[in-house]
Each structure stands twice: as C-alpha cells, then as structure tokens.
Amino acid sequence: MAKTNKSIIVNGEHHEVSAESSEPLLWVLRDRLGLTGTKYGCGEGACGTCTVLIDGKAERSCLVAFEDLEARHAIVTIEGLVQDGELSPVQHAFVEHNAFACGYCTSGMIMQATDLLTINKTPSRSEIIEAMNDNLCRCATYPSIITAIESVVKENGSKSEDQS
Ligand code: FES
Ligand code: FES
C-alpha cells in the first residue's frame, strides 16, 4: 500500500513521518518514532493501554489513523510528560504509591488520569473511578491507582487553598 508523508508534532517536536494512511498512531509512535512507552493491548479501543493525549485529550492511539492526524495536532505520549528530567505529578504519584504490578497498563492509566486532572483538578473519588473505568489492568492494581490519583487531587486542593 502507498505511503503518505506528513509532519506531526509529538512531545513538542516536529517529525516528518512516512506511513500508510490507515496505520494506527500507536504503531507510528512505536515503530517509526521509537516511543515504545505507548503499549499495544487489544488494538480495538477496549483496554486503554495505548492512550495518548491529542490536543490535551486522552485518545486511544490504536483507533487514530495516520490519515486523520493533522499538523496542528499536539500529540503527547508518556515520554512527553517528563519535563526538564522531572516526572509529572501523576507519574510521580504512581511511583510513590506503587500503582502498578507488571506496568503494562501504566502508561495508559497515567495519560487517562492526566486528562482527568487537566479538566478537573479536584475530582471526587467517584469521578476518578468513572474516568478510569474503561482503562483495564490485568493485575488489578485499581486500588493503588485510585490512591495515587487521589494524592494528586489532595496536592491540587492544598495548592488552591494556598492561593485563596
Ligand atoms: S490497544 Fe488501544 S484500546 Fe487497547
Ligand atoms: S499493572 Fe499489570 S496490567 Fe496493570
């Protein structure tokens, strides 16, 4: 099948990529850009392990075709959350609270939680559970994942109290 070329922005950097039109973003990231932090789980949008941010919104990269990407889109992967060598607050909380076992679902969980905490800095426990509900963890580390996210919520809450 013929390949097309286009420029995409991933983790703040422009990349010229050549790929088939129907190639999922997941494989563009992993195979063409070497960003293997984004994982393949089901390939059909059901597990959330492949979640990345597109223009700040959590999207399943296995369902986004290369042809649907536009140069204006800002794509962020788990690697792109690290700024100046520092883990993001959500990444840090997952480490702090051992919110993983095998770690296979972790990138997707962190990207999904990052989306949630961007929209709502202080979600309730039930809002967290609802937002994370469609990300699957085969190791069932859900309680630690919720605890990790709640720790960021607590931090956000005390920051907003400081500012008031
Ligand atoms: S690999 Fe994309 S949702 Fe499962
Ligand atoms: S930590 Fe193993 S799949 Fe979630």
Each residue of 79-104: pLDDT tens digit? 999 999 999 999 999 999 999 999 99
Spacing, Cα 83 to ligand 2 middle (Å):
25
Q: What's residue 82's pLDDT? A: 97
Predicted pLDDT at 162? 74
Q: Kindly write down the DSSP assignment for every residue of 45-91, as one continuous string.
A: SSS-TTEEEETTEEEEGGG-BGGG--TT-EEE-GGGG-BTTBPPHHH
Strand order in the sheet with 57-60: 13-20, 3-10, 74-76, 51-54, 57-60
Q: Quick one: pLDDT at residue 137? A: 98
In the chain, % of residues over pLDDT 70:
99
Residues lower than pLDDT 70 in the chain: 164
- Residue 51 alpha carbon, nearest atom of ligand 1: 2
Q: What is the pLDDT of residue 115?
A: 98
Q: How far is ligand 2, taken at its centre, from the CA of residue 115, in Å?
A: 19
In the chain, CATH 3.10.20.30 sits at 3-81
Nearest CA to ligand 1 atom 3: 45
CA-proximal residue: ligand 2, atom 4 (nearest): 137
Closest CA to 105 of 134, 148, 63: 134
Start-end of CATH 1.10.150.120 domains in the chain: 89-163
Residue 72 one-letter amino acid:
R
Triad 135, 40, 131: Cα angle to 5°: 15
pLDDT 10s digits, 31-48: 999 999 999 999 999 999
Q: Which of 47, 137, 142 to mutate to test the pocket of ligand 2 (most atoms within 8 A of CB)?
A: 137
pLDDT for the residue numbered 16: 96
Q: How far is the CA of 160 from the centre of ligand 1 (A)?
A: 35
Ligand 2 binding site (Cβ under 6 Å of any ligand atom): 100-105, 137-139, 141
Span from the CA of 138 to the centroid of ligand 2 (angstroms): 5
CATH top-level class of 3-81: alpha beta
Cα–Cα distance for residue pair 83/91, rounded to 1 Å: 11
pTM, to two decimals: 0.95
Given this model, what pLDDT does residue 8 score?
A: 97
Pocket around ligand 1: residues whose beta carbon is below 6 Å from it? 40-43, 45-50, 60, 62
Q: How many CB atoms sit inside 10 A of residue 115's CB?
A: 19
Distance 71 CA to ligand 2 centre (A): 33
* Structural fold of domain 89-163: DNA polymerase; domain 1 (1.10.150)
